[in-house]
């Protein structure tokens, strides 16, 4: 039987409660912190979790007879589709069917197009460009590892990729350049494609509203940089085929398409990654800007992360606490966008010190 933790009722309760992000011993000595839900979890709930995980790990077999999946020809074994996932993450597990249903039409159409270029290995159809299909495409190319913990919606995720970002293309090189879908709403299909160089920072760059536009851009850049005329001609031939297929399926190859322009009008804040966030605002309720500029917030975070000692860090954290208090006030008045903005900024800053605060 586990020993009960002694509660020090003489200390004032920390305003962040069990989810407090501060790790300093001085802070812990001054304020009382309740036990976390994880600490209170019983063996019974763990057994329930394992059962639910096992249930979620099974691929749905309720598909109607006669229906066929043009993308997945043949069945994928459960262990291939959903490798073992830690029981604490069971609620995030998705079946292959769910993952594919949450991808836009251009995702599967692009796979079909790649099959016309390289039937044996569609994922390597653009290998000459140094471009490879990854992420969710690993389901289609049967590359999901069998004995590795993988959450499909996080598969091939890079360090600075926010939760809204889902990698589907990676490019050879040292800067960890990759392209993925970006969702403004987790319940909706992606609204834009973006690129990021993880080695250089969190910046996200718009790459069109469909994967054909993104790859067309990469081919154009490759042709410009190529010093080999034969290779440039080969790239041009691939691009011509891509343009023809995209035109037949009515996909815009413009990076700044009408859909992107419409989204730009809805952006309430660029955030540190630059792609911006779109949150519902009705009657001026839903978002309010942070009181400090991006430059000021970056300086605050930089000073906290690089503080020489705990005393100096605590002084700087007071400024961050003010921002958090503003977010709490905003939440009370249904302006949830402010908290989203600050959370993304903390994530994009990239320092491990802020991870517990982000989850809070």
No. of helices (H) and no. of strands (E), the chain: 14, 5
Contacts of 101 (CB under 8 A, 6+ apart): none
CA atoms of 311 and 304, how far apart (whole Å) = 11
Per DSSP, what are the bridge partners of residue 180? 167, 194
CA atoms of 328 and 336, how far apart (whole Å) = 9
- Of 49, 145, 138, residue with least CA distance to 99: 138
Hey, which residues are catalytic here?
A: 333
- Contact of 198 with 160, CB cutoff 8 Å: yes
CA atoms of 94 and 190, how far apart (whole Å) = 17
CA atoms of 239 and 221, how far apart (whole Å) = 11
- Of 327, 262, 319, residue with least CA distance to 288: 327
Long-range contacts made by residues 150-154, C-beta under 8 angstroms, separation at least 24?
150/82, 150/83, 150/85, 151/85, 151/89, 151/92, 151/93, 151/94, 152/82, 152/93, 152/94, 152/96, 152/99, 153/92, 153/94, 153/99
Contacts of 292 (CB under 8 A, 6+ apart): 300, 323
- Contact of 140 with 111, CB cutoff 8 Å: yes
CA atoms of 251 and 245, how far apart (whole Å) = 9
């Amino acid at each position: 039987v586990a020993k009960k933790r002694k509660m020090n009722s003489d200390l004032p309760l920390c305003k962040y409660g069990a989810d407090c992000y501060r790790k300093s011993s001085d802070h812990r000595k001054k304020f009382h912190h309740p036990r976390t839900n994880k600490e209170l979890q019983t063996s019974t709930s763990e057994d329930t979790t394992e059962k639910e995980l096992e249930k979620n790990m099974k691929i749905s077999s309720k598909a109607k007879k006669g229906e066929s999946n043009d993308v997945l020809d043949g069945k994928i074994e459960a262990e291939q589709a959903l490798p073992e996932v830690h029981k604490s993450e069971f609620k995030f597990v998705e079946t292959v069917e769910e993952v594919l249903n949450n991808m836009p039409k251009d995702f599967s159409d692009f796979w079909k197009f790649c099959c016309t270029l390289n039937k044996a290995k569609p994922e390597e159809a653009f290998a000459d460009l140094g471009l490879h299909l990854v992420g969710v495409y690993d389901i289609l190319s049967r590359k999901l590892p069998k004995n590795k913990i993988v959450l499909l919606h996080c598969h091939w995720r890079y360090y600075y990729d926010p939760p809204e970002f889902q990698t589907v293309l990676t490019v050879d090189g040292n800067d960890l350049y990759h392209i993925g879908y970006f969702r403004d709403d987790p319940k909706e299909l992606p609204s834009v494609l973006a690129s990021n160089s993880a080695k250089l920072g969190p910046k996200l760059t718009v790459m069109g509203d469909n994967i054909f536009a993104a790859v067309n851009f990469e081919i154009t850049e490759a042709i410009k940089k190529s010093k080999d005329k034969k290779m440039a001609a080969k790239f041009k031939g691939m691009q011509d085929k891509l343009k023809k297929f995209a035109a037949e399926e009515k996909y815009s190859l413009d990076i700044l398409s009408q859909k992107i322009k419409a989204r730009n009008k809805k952006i309430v804040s660029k955030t540190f990654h630059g792609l911006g966030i779109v949150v519902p605002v009705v009657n001026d309720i839903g978002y309010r800007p942070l009181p400090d500029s991006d430059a000021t917030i970056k300086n605050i975070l930089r000073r906290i992360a690089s503080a020489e000692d705990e005393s100096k860090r605590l002084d700087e954290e007071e400024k961050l606490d003010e921002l958090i208090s503003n977010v709490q006030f905003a939440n009370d008045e249904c302006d949830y966008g402010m908290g989203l903005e600050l959370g993304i900024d903390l994530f994009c800053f990239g320092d491990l010190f802020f991870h517990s605060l982000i989850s809070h």
